[in-house]
Structure 1
Amino acid sequence: MQPTSTVDRPAAPQAPDSRTFGRAFADLRDAWHQRELWAHLGWQDIKQRYRRSVIGPLWITISMGTTALALGLLYSQLFGQEIATFLPYVTAGFVIWNFILGVVTEGTEVFIANEGLIKHLPSPVTVHVLRMVWRQVLFFLHNLAVYVVVLVIFFPELAKPYKMAGWDLEHPGLSWAVLLVVPAFALLVANAVWIALLFGIISTRFRDIPPVIHSFINLVFFMTPIVWHVGVLQKVTGGGGSTNDWRVLIAELNPLYHYVEIVRAPLLGHAQDWHHWVVVGAFTVVGWTLALFAMRNYRARVSYWV
């Protein structure tokens, strides 16, 4: 019997490489095609949270309305602001902030919280991220009802040009520019997806990340113009309104300020400063680039880390 030459032997099949951008994009594409699944799961999450409750998800709106009213009344007195313009400002800012807060805090644990599904349900990992983001969008829409109520009450003041106390800038008032909130919020949602993907993967590998972010986010809330506005900082500088003062620069260097402002400005009829869109657009490109690299290298390991 003649020995078989190694030259004549067929080459062993190569295992497909999972660390490719093609696999990362395929995961995103397949997750989008399963939108009926994650949309249904996201809605069921809300129904399950308020199971056996008389008014159900309306508790979301009531909680938001109570908090916004209390903060608006308190800080309007502390900063000497007109309640007719300051309460809508706080309400809109707080509604947007709650969406960002939910995405960041739940995004860090999005894969950890779905350990059972990841291990037993073969589906793209992005499905769990889209489920969480969709749930936060539904929360946002519930909370937006509070803004609508405040808008109806103070519409006469917001529909005409006005100034907020301590701010030299005059706002044009509500107009058809309010429709800019649609692309602004769409951009916010696009950022929510990459944030959950990137930080979700990192936090699944390093479990110390979620508590660090949960602690840090409370500090960021007070550093972001939610219950105060940049005009207050200009007033502290001596009334000159200089935007080069270090206090104003601290607000400008806070990326969350720009995310909040692109949505809040059209909601309140504020003068739209386009540099906020530039900053958010730059973060969107950089963030999605980092998220895709994380998906390319570590997407297949998520099921082993949870």
Structure 2
Amino acid sequence: MTAAPTGDAPKSESMTLRAAFADLVQGARQRELWFMLGIQDIKQRYRRSVLGPLWITVATGVMAAALGLLYSMLFQIPVAEFLPHVTVGLIMWNFISGAIREGSTVFIDNEGLIKQLPAPLSVHVYRLVWRQALFLAHNLIIWVALLLIFPRHLGWEFFLFIPALALLLVNGVWVAMFFGIVATRFRDVAPLLEALTQLLFYVTPIVWMTNTLKENGGAVAERARIAEINPLYHYMEIVRAPMIGQEVAAYHWWIVIACTIGGIFIAALAMRQWRFRVSYWV
């Protein structure tokens, strides 16, 4: 009689953190693929349009001008101070919300490619983040125009915008990967994230300023601290403040770095557990 094997069965190579990170590395190496696919997405979206991708800039600029002028009058804040705050906030919010909303359907939308193209799963995520980065680049034209209209001194702190933007892109990758996997398995997650993203817009200081609340003093100032519970507030601060000539408190950076590390770990766990099942779920 053959003795029963002892110990646990060998763990599948595809269900390890090493395999999950290998997928991310392999996908990054295929940058020519997702680079061209991302550009093709924009060309396809604005095909036969006269302005083409510049419609992204026009739409964002009109929205920023309308909200900036309206709320500057409501809050009695000078336009030269409030309009750059709202504009840069909207530009960055478009990237963040795009990573969340489109990230939740990234694998569902690429069902054909996933089933036919033998490529790492992360290729589709990089494609999405690259496309959102291109939208962001188009919208930065508005920020340059604001600097010309409302000149301000930009010291060395301005260069903090570069690592802050890099952190934003990294977070876009893990957000799209994690929510993409979860929403592919549970289809109710995508519409739920759509509603949650709209709610997050109002609780994130984009069309309002925490400084305005703190200046009122008393209970209002204490309630303004509630905004710091929202992680997106800290993401917004490290990117927006250098771009409009303001200083960034160090604790914003530490919170963002901690959230980034935690998010990457959570996304890696999701990839380890369910990455190989995505092709069956789509």
What band does the TM-score fall into relative to the shorter chain?
A: over 0.9
2:14 counterpart SS class: coil
Contact 2:164–2:238, Cα closer than 8 Å, also in 1: yes
Please give the per-residue CA displacement for 1:24-58, whole angstroms capped at 9, x wherever unaligned. 12211110110000010001000100000111111
Structure index of larger Rg: 1
Distance in 1 of aligned mates of 2:159 and 2:82 = 21
Shift in Å, 1:278: 0.6
- Equivalent in the alignment of 2:200: 220
Partner of 2:227: 251
- Equivalent residue, structure 1, for 2:212: 232
Cα separation, partners in 2 of 1:265 and 1:241, compared to 1, 3 Å:
farther
Percent of counterpart pairs with the same letter?
A: 54
The alignment's C-alpha RMSD in Å is 1.8
Change (3 A) 1:24 1:79: same
Q: Pick the aligned partner of 1:196 from 176, 180, 194.
A: 176
Counterpart amino acid of residue 28 in structure 1:
L
Q: Deviations over 1:197-243 (max 9, x none)?
A: 111110000000010110111111111100111012213444x995x
Matches within 5 A, 1:31-110: 31-110=27-106
Letter in 2 for 1:300: F
Among candidates 148, 154, 177, match of residue 150 of structure 2: 154
Q: Report SS of the residue matched to 2:207.
A: coil
Runs (5+) with no aligned partner, structure 1: 8-13, 160-173
Instruction: Give structure 2 stretches of 5+ with no counterpart.
Output: 4-9
Please report how far the alpha carbon of residue 16 of structure 1 lies from its aligned counterpart in structure 2 after TM superposition.
5.2
Partner AA of 1:139 in structure 2: F
Counterpart in 1 of 2:256? 280
Normalised to the residue count of structure 1, the TM-score between the two structures is: 0.87
Give the number of aligned pairs: 276
| 8 Å Cα contact 2:157/2:247 also seen in 1 | no
Give the aligned residue type for 1:290.
I
Q: CA 1:304–1:179 in 2, change beyond 3 Å: closer, same or farther? A: same
Contact 2:84 2:146 in 1 (8 A): yes
Residue identity in the other structure for 1:235 = E
Give the partner amino acid of 2:142: V
Local SS of the residue matching 2:50: coil
